[in-house]
Structure 1
């Protein structure tokens, strides 16, 4: 395992990390989470990603229980959470859903700390942009969160380049804690934001990336080429909204072509897709979403595949995927 700086910060995160979206509470209980996180740690992973909204707070609770049970030194791992959607089950509480206002953010961090059982969270993200709250209000609230010692770094997830730059400039102008990282979707079929829209931010403000959905929710493993397998992410009722994307004919046909390249390299499709992301130096870490130990072990094999992606192989991959990418 290699470690990379989180953007321009001094923090180092493992090039592969482990997330909990969809899996924790829905597919993974505390016992399985212990097994997965312990195996990840043994492989050198030091970053574990979460969010307030995942399983309406249950995901944070499970991860907190695992951290307590494993007893790792607090200085040895990095944990994150994200704020925006809230965990109001019926969505009726004003100022507690779909917002980044100061009231919500100030209370949200306290709720996450309680569920995790931690004194501070390393990375906190604004999970989506909030068009109804001034960016300046959000920047002040996130900076204050760090000043109060409840978080160490803050960033964004799926924000536009313009909004990220605006937030950074507000923080610069008022001598506040600046956004350090962005968490965008990034995989072979979803490339424009990371490779084009954010291009100037890497050098201009030192933006780091903690990318999610590296396997396009499993599409890039090839498991959905013949429908939705029982027990897969796509079979979950909570993920019904993504089934059409998972079964998109042209992309599944492209996956079939990529499997030829994977076969030549002697690796799995998942390893090929992860290695392709890992060769991008702008990516600080790739968040894995494994729900089984066998999946995690297979994903970790991508590290050995990365140096084998020659310019010729990368050109072949682009020829197959670029026409279908956005």
Structure 2
């Protein structure tokens, strides 16, 4: 009997309350595309992702100043993939140095989206995100502009990234009042060390708006892989060795966090999995998460990430309790008054 294909591992979830199905593990171009790898290497990584059934690929206009989109677009073109098999997202906010190249004005959303599509060599993206909230632009202007993009067929769905619950609620209120489409999905950070927003702040939004989540940084910017130590410099091929990420490294590579990571090692050893697989599988257990955006610069890293799906069923209640006792990161639910 032939061994099952790697793609048989993959599970698919709806993107929130939409009809769109996305692979529960996906791949993002942040850090790697344009900073560490070029088109040929990108083709290898993307092909390995597809081998495992990944259909969702994430990007942004700001990643490597647009080069990440160019690399992804060219790689997909050379791989000659059927566009309808893919779910491609990109994000608008930081588009350049011009005074109107930043933010969520109607002008930048429309011009920025067109520029993204040119770099990606695509007629449309499946999901367009507002990369950050723009407090200097009325939310109504942003909601109307995102609906214009959808009406033009340049995107099928729109979402937010790192917006707070009040901002998302306000966007939905505007959309409902005007008979427009609200944000279907939010892209927040979520991992064993960063949980409040996903588990508490957004909790009312999953039922109220059917909010989906495409979470980033499931490995805490790589800290949860266990490859960093207080007593030695970051590995030369890691993101924290890059000059642009020295500031982030100073916030992440601290004693309290690294001690928790070390304490998780025995659990990974007991399950015969890597720390990275343990951390990713833990994210998969949250049913409110539509997809987990993974990153990788090497083919073997893609394989390790995807094989996390074998770990999910190992995370029984007693294992989850052990993990909780170590990380002590479970957010407190707000008190309710009757």
Tell me which interval the TM-score lies in, with the shorter structure as reference length: over 0.9
Deviation of residue 244 (structure 1)? 1.1
Q: TM-score, normalised by structure 1?
A: 0.97
CA contact (8 A) 1:190 1:325 kept: no
Q: Which residue number in structure 2 is paired with residue 120 of structure 1? A: 124
Q: Does 1:77 align with 2:86?
A: yes
Once residues 197 and 116 of structure 1 are traced to their aligned partners in structure 2, the CA distance between those partners, rounded to angstroms, is 34
Q: Is the 8 A contact 2:192 2:329 kept in 1?
A: no
Q: Give the stretch that moved more between structures: 265-274 or 228-237.
A: 228-237
Whether contact under 8 Å (1:6, 1:284) holds in the other structure is yes
**5 Å matches for 1:173-212?**
173-212=177-216
Within 5 Å, which residues of 2 pair with 1:1-326? 1-86=10-95, 88=96, 91=97, 93-97=98-102, 99-225=103-229, 226-227=231-232, 228-323=234-329
**Contiguous gaps of at least 5 residues in structure 2:** 1-9, 333-338
- 1:152-210 residue CA offsets vs partner (Å, 9 max, x unmatched): 00000000000001101111111112110000000000000000000000000000000
Q: Helix, strand or coil: the match of 2:22?
A: strand
- The one-character-per-residue Cα deviations of 1:46-65 (angstroms, maximum 9, x if unpaired) are 00000000000000000000
| Contact 2:26–2:292 (Cα < 8 Å) also in 1 | yes
* Structure 1 unaligned blocks of 5 or more: none
1:113 is paired with a residue of what secondary structure?
A: helix
2:188 and 2:215 in contact (8 A); partners too: yes
C-alpha contact (below 8 Å) 2:199/2:331 kept by paired residues? no
Aligned-residue RMSD, C-alpha: 1.2
**Deviations 1:242-287 (CA, angstroms, capped at 9, x unpaired):** 1112311011011011011000000000000000000110000000
Report the secondary structure of 1:283's partner residue: coil
Q: CA–CA distance in 2 between the matches of 1:113 and 1:23?
A: 20
Structure 1 residue runs of 4 or more that deviate by more than 4 Å after TM superposition: 323-326
Provide the rounded CA distance (Å) in 2 between the counterparts of 1:286 and 1:325.
Answer: 20
Residue 129 of structure 2 contacts residue 160 of structure 2 at CA under 8 Å; is this kept in 1? Answer: yes
The total of aligned residue pairs comes to 321
State how far apart, in whole Å, the 1-side matches of 2:35 and 2:109 are: 26
> What's the TM-score once normalised by structure 2's chain length?
0.93
SS in 2 for 1:216: coil
Preserved CA contact (<8 Å) 1:184 1:194: yes
Query: Distance between the aligned counterparts of 1:104 and 1:18, measured in 2?
Result: 26
Does the Cα contact within 8 Å between 1:234 and 1:246 map onto a contact in 2?
no
